Structure 1
């Protein structure tokens, strides 16, 4: 009986050990939790809002004076005075130079004297012709004498007319001695100095006056671009900018700033330059304060067409590949998909999407390296300041 009890005790002890090991094994399994899936990455997005967009091209150009007048000496002589300040604004008709007028005054006096003599001869000849006319009817004088008197009177009239023309010519030449500005504008440096002999054989250049209160902007555009634009307008894909009015142009200066005054397109050339494949265009630009100068290199922004439902996106939102341009779109459930888009010309660091997006869709701008098509993402509004929306949570986590 003692042995039997001992065997039972041993069996109970083994059963307790096995049960304890089983419980220990179960407890050990509960102490190691399964790995949790990482949360979707946070990305900055912009919401698509289609609207009217202008298609503008930036083209190289140069400024040209609206009018240019070369001041020349039309009278020969010694230049006595310069009557203007170089680089100043002058008015039309303002005296600029004075050429020695003495020879021309003498010529005018001589012409006036010749005219006076011709007028005196006319008085005498006309009086004789008037007296012979009735005497010839009564045969008191011969008909030949009356005819000779009448011819002398007519010749005297011709001499008076020639004398008047000579006086007028002398007055014109005397006027040329005072050189005036043909137009209003800004005058440059004097090309001659006092004491120089001018006008001998040819009209000597004296100065240049340029009207710069408004300027011309001459620029060129690729003929291929013009043809594509015209085809898109003809197909109805685009609308002409400004309707029937002349297209507006903006001028960008060398430092990148935009000139305050807008210009208007005047014309485009009817032919293509065979050497460059470019078409020449010209615009008129107001310059009331004279800040811009002729010859200055500028960039011209020309609005050529309009898109009724265009979407502006930051350039970094668009990926360019062999198959074209795509953007990443986040759906309401957080799923990310790649969307092919069609782009227009970029402007001010932004891409113009012509088609491929719908209003209200969310396009990823910041965090593209963390998101991929087919995955998930958590969209937050993006601001142009940078990746602040996506960086803030990471910073907070690091502090915790």
Structure 2
């Protein structure tokens, strides 16, 4: 006899929480399945999504004049630099400048005790006056002997001696005049002027110090900082490659401005220009110095600072600019792009050594007229059938149909 299960109380069949969750899930799945079967019966089949190949946007590859930008390390150098040195020996009597200020060319900087040099100039002046008096006497004597020698009133030898003495006295006058000029120059050198206009550094000698014309240390150093030079070090191998490219005609010279990055990573607000390139390779570093000139009215750049300079040395005429979103990298680091071939997306390996703004610079792997996919790259696979449209066109994005939501459980 079959036991009557319905007569038992609910406590006889305990329902655990896990079992309850399984039963609820099964009921929900059954409801969804029933709804789907009804839809299937009413429409004759399940509703399908949009069919057809994916739509991708492309750009046509064309040659562009792409600057070959080089970023190199550099160091600032003063436009003009001059060491202030004494021309005569003596004790520094006065100093006329404040350290670190701007001085003008010819401005007095130091005063060396002029007493000895003033006395020497006075002595030279006296010697010149004495020589001039002797020369005048000798000239008059020679003039008097000349007519007497003509009538043989005096010996011709006496006239010859008198004429020679007059010429010798004139030479002595020239010597004493030169000595006076030298004494006056030395007296003028007791005032040490600024040789150039610029900012003067600290004074290495104080008032009362003994200085000489042959000393090793300068009195001070003046540097002109506006404009200022930046010496850039470029490897000789890169320079050789550049010259070969220019000789082959693949690249043309560029005269682009030079940009600077300072030591703290910030950009210098002014552009410079390349002045010249050295013709000698440094044997210790294998580099060639390229010198650029920059304005420095605010004095932000100081001599000896390390900077990064970027500039275009040439323009590549056989390169392509491809938007960065179109270029992908393989695990080996190779650059690849998708190119439209008929209605197929073909994966192609290209050479993309650098960027230019928002584009990759492609130097190999493309040819003019190639259609490079730049939109919809994420849904493209090799040899996939696609619907290519120009990238400038807006892609069609259809809104879901009204009945699509009801078909989802």
TM-score band (shorter)? 0.7 to 0.9
Mean alpha-carbon deviation: is it higher for 106-115 or for 289-298? 289-298
User: Does the 8 Å CA contact 1:261/1:287 hold for their aligned counterparts?
Assistant: no
Deviation (angstroms), 1:277:
3.4
Q: Superposition pairs for residues 1-400 of structure 1, below 5 Å?
A: 30=41, 33-34=45-46, 36=48, 51-199=64-212, 201-202=214-215, 204-236=217-249, 238-242=250-254, 247-254=255-262, 255-271=265-281, 273-308=282-317, 310-313=319-322, 315=324, 317-321=326-330, 322=332, 324-329=334-339, 336-348=345-357, 350-355=359-364, 356=366, 358=368, 361-364=371-374, 371-375=380-384
* 1:100/1:41 CA distance change after superposition, 3 Å: farther
User: Does the 8 Å CA contact 1:83/1:97 hold for their aligned counterparts?
Assistant: yes
User: Does the 8 Å CA contact 2:228/2:295 hold for their aligned counterparts?
Assistant: yes
Mean alpha-carbon deviation: is it higher for 125-134 or for 302-311? 302-311
Structure 2 length normalisation: TM-score? 0.73
Deviation (angstroms), 1:216:
2.5
* 1:357/1:177 CA distance change after superposition, 3 Å: same
Secondary structure of 2:363 counterpart: strand
Deviation (angstroms), 1:218:
1.6
Matches of 2:328 and 2:111 in 1, distance apart?
70
Structure 1 length normalisation: TM-score? 0.74
Mean alpha-carbon deviation: is it higher for 88-97 or for 275-284? 275-284
Aligned to 1:20: none
CA RMSD of aligned residues (A): 3.9
Deviation (angstroms), 1:300:
1.9
Deviation (angstroms), 1:83:
1.8
Matches of 1:41 and 1:81 in 2, distance apart?
88
Equivalenced residue count is 358
* 1:231/1:124 CA distance change after superposition, 3 Å: closer
Matches of 1:292 and 1:379 in 2, distance apart?
53
Deviation (angstroms), 1:290:
3.9
Mean alpha-carbon deviation: is it higher for 313-322 or for 122-131? 313-322
The list of structure 1 runs, each at least 4 consecutive aligned residues, that deviate by more than 6 angstroms after superposition, is: 26-29, 38-47, 330-333, 376-383
Deviation (angstroms), 1:173:
0.5
* 1:158/1:228 CA distance change after superposition, 3 Å: closer
User: Does the 8 Å CA contact 1:325/1:341 hold for their aligned counterparts?
Assistant: yes
* 1:202/1:52 CA distance change after superposition, 3 Å: same
User: Does the 8 Å CA contact 1:266/1:282 hold for their aligned counterparts?
Assistant: yes
Deviation (angstroms), 1:52:
2.6
| Deviations 1:108-143 (CA, angstroms, capped at 9, x unpaired) | 011001101111111112111211222223333333
Unmatched 5+ residue regions in structure 1?
1-25, 384-388, 394-400
Matches of 1:49 and 1:258 in 2, distance apart?
34
User: Does the 8 Å CA contact 1:267/1:282 hold for their aligned counterparts?
Assistant: yes
Matches of 1:71 and 1:379 in 2, distance apart?
74
Matches of 2:79 and 2:39 in 1, distance apart?
93
* 1:378/1:84 CA distance change after superposition, 3 Å: farther
Deviation (angstroms), 1:29:
6.7
Unmatched 5+ residue regions in structure 2?
1-36, 400-409
Matches of 2:391 and 2:97 in 1, distance apart?
61
